[in-house]
Structure 1
Amino acid sequence: MNSLQNRANAVMAFSISAIFCLLGAIALSAFIIPTSPNGLVAVNSIKVVTGRYDKTWFDYKTRDNQFANTVMQIDADLSSLFHWNTKQLFIYAVAEYSTPTHSKNQIVLWDSIIKRKSDAVIRKKGIKNKYSVIDVNKKWTDIHANVSLHWNIVPYVGFMTYGHSQASEPYAFPLPSGIQT
C-alpha cells in the first residue's frame, strides 16, 4: 500500500503546515499586544557652518555649502515595545522640514539599535548628530525643522512595524557666523 517514502512525505508535509500555521499565529498575535511608548527629542543647540563637504564629491566642490551641527537630548521609554516576539528595536531621530523647492524633507540625525528591554529606557544628553546635515539647496536660510523619534520593531517572526513620537516644536536653523542678512 503506502511505502515508507509516502508515509515520511505525509508526516513532513503535515509538520511543515503545522509550523507555518503556528508562525502565522505568532506574527498576528504581535499586533494585538498593547504598547504605550513615549519619546521626546529636544534640540539643545544648532550651529550652521560653511565649508566644503568632501574633496572627492563632485557636487560639493564649492566652499559655500552650509552644514548644520546639532546637540540633542533624548528622553524615551520604549520598553513597552519589547515583548516575546521582539528581536530588536531600531531607533532614530529625524528632522523634518519644508523648503520652497521641496515640500517634505527628512534627515536622520542619529540612530541606534536596542537589543534588550533593559536598554529601552533612554536618557541621553549632549548627543551630536551622527550624520552630515546638509540640505539639497545647500543653504539653511529660513528653515524651521520639527524633530521626532522614530522606531522600527524587528520581530523574530512576522512583519516589521514602525512608529514615531510626537514632533517637537519647530527649531530654526541660525545663519552661519559672519553672514549678514
Structure 2
Amino acid sequence: MNSLQNRANAVMAFSISAIFCLLGAIAFSALIIPSNPTGTVALDSIKVVTGRYDKYWVDYKTRDNEFANTIMRIDADLTSLFHWNTKQLFVYAVAEYSTPTHPKNQIVLWDTIIKRKSKAMIRKKGVTNKYSLIDVNKKWTNVQANVSIHWNIVPYVGFMTYGHSKASEGYAFPLPSGIQN
C-alpha cells in the first residue's frame, strides 16, 4: 500500500509533466503562426563630425574620431507579429556596411520596446540616432551603408524569434564638415 507521501509525489509528478507538455505545445504552435511584417528606414540626412568619443575619455594618439549623426524616417507595420503568445517586441534600426579591414559591420542606430499591438504601427520622422555611430577604423571615408529594421519577438512561453526587413539602398557617408578632398 502506498503512503500519503507517495501518492502526493505521483500526483505532483504527473501534474508537472502535463504542464510541461502543454507549455511545449504552446511554444511550438507559436512558431507556425503566419505573419507578414513590413518595415523601411530611410536616412534623410547623414552628417559626419570630428571629435572625441567622450569628454572624459582621453586618447592622446588620435584626438579626432569621426562620428556620424543621422536623421531617419521609420515606417513599419509589425501588428502581424502580435498573437496570443507575444509578450513584447524589441525593434531596432541597424546600419550594415563593409570596410577593407572588416567585411561585415553592424551598428544599432535606434531601438524601442513595443508591448501592445496598438503601438506596433511605427511611423516616425526626424528620428536621430540613439547610439554613437563610430567605426572601428575611426574614419567614415568611402563607406556605403544599408539600413534595415530588425525585431525580436519575446514570447510568454517558448523561443525568442528574430526577423528583419529588406535592407534599403546604400547610403554614402559624406566627408566631415570643413574637410575637402
Please tell me the TM-score bracket, short chain as reference.
Answer: over 0.9
1:70 aligns with: 70
Q: Is the 8 A contact 1:43 1:72 kept in 2?
A: yes
- Decide whether aligned partners of structure 1 residues 51 and 162 sit closer, same or farther in structure 2, where only a CA change above 3 A counts: same
Q: Distance in 1 between matches of 2:139 and 2:3?
A: 76
Q: Distance in 1 between matches of 2:61 and 2:127?
A: 29
Q: Is the 8 A contact 1:54 1:60 kept in 2?
A: no
Shift of 1:54: 1.2
Using the size of structure 2 for normalisation, the TM-score is 0.97
Shift of 1:180: 1.1
Q: Distance in 2 between matches of 1:137 and 1:42?
A: 25
The aligned runs of 1:1-181 (5 Å cut-off) are: 1-59=1-59, 62-181=62-181
Q: CA RMSD in A?
A: 1.1
- Decide whether aligned partners of structure 1 residues 108 and 61 sit closer, same or farther in structure 2, where only a CA change above 3 A counts: farther
Q: Distance in 2 between matches of 1:50 and 1:177?
A: 8
After TM superposition, the structure 1 stretch with the greater mean CA deviation from structure 2, 2-11 or 49-58, is: 49-58
Q: Is the 8 A contact 1:52 1:60 kept in 2?
A: no
Q: Distance in 2 between matches of 1:85 and 1:161?
A: 12
Using the size of structure 1 for normalisation, the TM-score is 0.97
- Decide whether aligned partners of structure 1 residues 59 and 34 sit closer, same or farther in structure 2, where only a CA change above 3 A counts: farther
Shift of 1:169: 0.3
Q: Distance in 1 between matches of 2:61 and 2:125?
A: 34
Shift of 1:57: 2.8
**What amino acid sits opposite 2:65 in the alignment?**
N
- Number of positions where the alignment pairs a residue of Structure 1 with one of Structure 2: 181
Q: Distance in 2 between matches of 1:149 and 1:27?
A: 25
Deviations 1:66-87 (A, max 9, x none): 0000000000000000000000
Q: Distance in 2 between matches of 1:40 and 1:23?
A: 35
After TM superposition, the structure 1 stretch with the greater mean CA deviation from structure 2, 52-61 or 112-121, is: 52-61
- Decide whether aligned partners of structure 1 residues 13 and 76 sit closer, same or farther in structure 2, where only a CA change above 3 A counts: same
Q: Distance in 1 between matches of 2:58 and 2:135?
A: 16
After TM superposition, the structure 1 stretch with the greater mean CA deviation from structure 2, 84-93 or 48-57, is: 48-57
**What amino acid sits opposite 1:84 in the alignment?**
W
Q: Distance in 2 between matches of 1:19 and 1:151?
A: 29
Q: Is the 8 A contact 1:73 1:127 kept in 2?
A: yes
